Structure 1
Amino acid sequence: MNKNIAILMGGYSSEFEISLKSGEVVYKYLPKEKYRIFRAHILKNEWYAVTPEEEKIPINKADFSIEVNGETVRFDCAFNTIHGTPGEDGLIQAYLQNLGIPQTASDYYQAALTFNKRDCISVLKAYGIKTAQNFFVDRGDTINEDEIINKVGLPCFVKANRAGSSFGITKVKSKTEIISAIEHALKEDNEVIIESFLDGTEVSVGVINWYDKITALPVTEIISENEFFDFDAKYNGKSQEITPANISTEDTKKVQKEAEKIFKVLKLKGLTRSEFIFHNGEPYFIECNACPGLTEASILPQQAKAMNISLTELFDQAIITAMQD
C-alpha cells in the first residue's frame, strides 16, 4: 500500500507565497505511483489538505489527520517546504515529532538554531568557521551608531535575525542610515544582527543526505544586479546564478568541505544550503538555510541538475532518508 505523504507548505511569515511555490514543485515531481500525496497548507488562519482530486479538507491538529470519504488518513511522512515559521524554526518539527510523524527537514533544535543567525554564528565560530564581524541589537535597546560603526565598520548589513528570503535586510553606507535600517529589520523580527561588509565572491553550497552519505552539491556563484542578493535579485531575475561557480577547483573543494563540516557540526539532515563569501581567498560563512527554496529556478534544484540528479530522485530520496531515522 502506498505511503501517505503530506507536503507542508505556506507558513506564517512573509515567505508563505514562496513556500507555496516550492510545495507545488515537490508535488509535481514526487512519484505519484509510489506515494499517495496531499498538499498540506499550513496557514495562520487555517490548516487544510488538498487531495489529488483538488478537494480541500480540514486538518485535525490533534493528530495531523484528515477525513477522506469516511476514511481517516494518517500521514507516514511530511515533506517540509515551509520557509520561515513554523516550518524552518523548529515549531512544526517538534509538533510532528510528538506525533511520531517523520519529516524531511532538520529536527526541531537544529532548525531553530540555523534559523537564528546570531546563535548559529556563535556556535560555528567555536569550530573555526570564519564569519563577518557582527553586532547584536534587540527591540528596545538604545542605539549607539558610533559603537556599531567601531565594531563592524561601513558599509555594513543590517538584518532581521530570524527571517529569510532577504526580508528585513538593508545595506547601510552611512551613519545616518543605521536607525532606519534597524527599524526596517524590526518589522520582521524583534532581534537584529549587524554584520561587516565582506568584499568578495558570493557562493551558495547545497548539502544533502544522498543515499546515506552527506554530500555537497556543485557550488553556485551569485552575481546580483542590485546592491546585494536581495528579494528582487532572488525572485525577480535581478541576478546571475552560475552553476558550477567560476571559481578554482581548489576553492570549490574548500567551500564544499566547509559546508559539509557545518552540516555535520550542526547535525543537520535533509536538503540544506549554506551561503559564503570568498574574502581574501577564504570562505566566510553568512548563513545556513535548513529549508531552502525548491522551485525549479531555486539554487538547490539547479545544483542537483548540475550533478545529474533529477528532482524526482532528489525529493524521493529526502522522504526515504526521513523515514529511515
Structure 2
Amino acid sequence: MSQPLPTAHSFGRVAVLMGGWSAERAVSLESGRCVLDALQAAGVDAQAVDPTPGDLLTLKARGFDRVFNILHGTPGEDGILQAACALQALPVTGSGLQASANALDKGATKALWRQAGLPVARDVLLREPDSASVDAIVEQLGLPVFVKPAWQGSSVGVARAVDAETLRQAITAAAQHPGPVLVEEAITGGEYTVGVVGETWLPPIRIEASGGFYDYEAKYVSDDTRYLIPCGLDAEAETSMQVLAARAYAVLGCSGWGRVDLMVDAEGQSRLLEVNTTPGMTTHSLVPKAAAALGWSMQTLVLRILATTLEGSA
C-alpha cells in the first residue's frame, strides 16, 4: 500500500530546474512546464529555474529547500547537478551523482549490466568514431543496426542504419555530440518501458511507433505512436520484466524515480537498452501514462516524486 502523500507545505520552497544548455533543452522546458503546473496546482511553493552553469551552486542561497530536477542530459543527468546539490546539502529528486553518470553513459551502463550477467543487445562502442571500420562493425553485428551518441538521451542523434553507407553517415552524425558513439544490433521484437517512483514499479508499457522506429519524432511530436497499457504480456511475463528492470536499476545504483527501457526479441527474451534517470514529463511521456494506469493524476505523480527527497521517504 502506498504511503499517504505529504502535505504541500512540507516540501518548503522548490526549484523546478528545466531547460539548461543540453541538446535536450526543448524537451526539458516542456517537461518542466508540466511539472511546475502540477506542483503549483497541488499547492506547492514551486518556482521555475532555467539555470546557467553559475546558477547551480546558488540554489540554497536563493532560498530553495529542495530541487525537482527535470533537466534532461547535462547537467541534470550526468552527475553535475547532483554534485552541486550535495555541496549545498540540498535534496534533489532522482538518482545520485555516480548512478546518474553511470546511466547517462550508455557504454558504462551496458558494461555494468554485462558484468552482472544481465541480458543486453550486442554492440560496438566507438571511442574514436572517425577511425571506425564500418566493414568490421557490419561483420560483427550484421545489419540493420542502431547508432546512438553514448552520452545523449531523448533519442537525440539516434539513427537506424540499413547498409554500410547509412552506417557511415550515422556514425559521423552521432560523433557531432560529446562522447563515444554506440552501434547496437537491431532487435526484432516488441519495445517496452517500465517506470519506477520510489519503491513502486509502474505497469510496463508496450510502444508501437507508426514508422517502426521510436525516434525523437515518435516520442515528442507524433500522435500516431501507440502506448499499450496493459502491455499485452501475461501476468508472469509482466512480473518477470519488472523484476529484470528492478535488477538493472539497482546495478546502476539508481534511486528516487526513473524508467528502464527494454526490447523483447523474437525468442521472447528481454534485452535491456538503457535507464533514464530523469524521464520526460510531457503530455507524450511514458511515466505519466503508466502512473495514470494506477489511477495517479499528474499532481499525485509529481508529489510522489518530490516525496522521495524527504528524509525517511520510501
TM-score past 0.5 threshold:
yes
Over aligned residue pairs, what C-alpha RMSD do you find?
Answer: 1.8
Counterpart in the other structure of 1:312? 299
Deviation digits for residues 276-322 of structure 1, max 9, x if unmatched? 11111111001110000012331100000001122222211222211
Do the aligned partners of residues 233 and 131 (structure 1) sit closer, same or farther apart at CA in structure 2, a change above 3 Å counting? same
Match of 1:273 among 243, 259, 262: 259
Shift in Å, 1:26: 1.0
1:7 aligns with 2:16: yes
Q: What is the CA–CA distance in structure 1 between the aligned matches of 2:60 and 2:93, rounded to whole Å?
A: 18
Contact 1:203 1:275 in 2 (8 A): yes
Deviation digits for residues 49-68 of structure 1, max 9, x if unmatched? xxxxxxxxxx5x543256xx
1:133 aligns with 2:122: yes
Deviation digits for residues 66-105 of structure 1, max 9, x if unmatched? 6xxxxxx411110000011100111111111111101001
Contact 1:207 1:259 in 2 (8 A): no
Counterpart in the other structure of 1:259? 245
The DSSP-based 3-state class of the residue aligned with 1:323 is coil
Counterpart in the other structure of 1:110? 99
Contact 1:10 1:43 in 2 (8 A): no
Q: What is the CA–CA distance in structure 2 between the aligned matches of 1:99 and 1:243, rounded to whole Å?
A: 40
Shift in Å, 1:247: 2.0
Shift in Å, 1:32: 5.4
Aligned residues: 301
1:295 aligns with 2:288: no
Larger deviation, residues 215-224 vs 132-141:
132-141
Q: What is the TM-score normalised by the length of structure 2?
A: 0.91
Counterpart in the other structure of 2:229? 243
Q: What is the CA–CA distance in structure 2 between the aligned matches of 1:140 and 1:19, rounded to whole Å?
A: 28
Counterpart in the other structure of 1:18? 27
Q: What is the CA–CA distance in structure 1 between the aligned matches of 2:28 and 2:295, rounded to whole Å?
A: 24
Counterpart in the other structure of 1:154? 143
Q: What is the CA–CA distance in structure 1 between the aligned matches of 2:175 and 2:14, rounded to whole Å?
A: 36
- Give 1:63's aligned amino acid: T
For CA contacts below 8 A with separation 6 or more, give which structure has more relative contact order: 2
Counterpart in the other structure of 2:218? 233
Shift in Å, 1:43: 4.3
Shift in Å, 1:219: 0.9
Shift in Å, 1:31: 5.0
Contact 1:274 1:288 in 2 (8 A): yes
Identity, % of aligned positions: 29
Q: What is the TM-score normalised by the length of structure 1?
A: 0.88
The DSSP-based 3-state class of the residue aligned with 2:131 is coil
Shift in Å, 1:204: 0.7
Counterpart in the other structure of 2:67? 78
Q: What is the CA–CA distance in structure 1 between the aligned matches of 2:109 and 2:251, rounded to whole Å?
A: 11
Q: What is the CA–CA distance in structure 1 between the aligned matches of 2:207 and 2:68, rounded to whole Å?
A: 27
Contact 1:160 1:168 in 2 (8 A): yes
Q: What is the CA–CA distance in structure 1 between the aligned matches of 2:236 and 2:136, rounded to whole Å?
A: 38
- Name structure 2 gaps, 5 residues minimum: 1-8
The DSSP-based 3-state class of the residue aligned with 2:218 is helix
Shift in Å, 1:33: 6.4
Do the aligned partners of residues 297 and 143 (structure 1) sit closer, same or farther apart at CA in structure 2, a change above 3 Å counting? closer
Q: What is the CA–CA distance in structure 2 between the aligned matches of 1:62 and 1:116, rounded to whole Å?
A: 24
Counterpart in the other structure of 2:206? 221
The DSSP-based 3-state class of the residue aligned with 1:102 is coil
Counterpart in the other structure of 2:3? none
Task: Name whichever structure is richer in strand by fraction.
Answer: 1
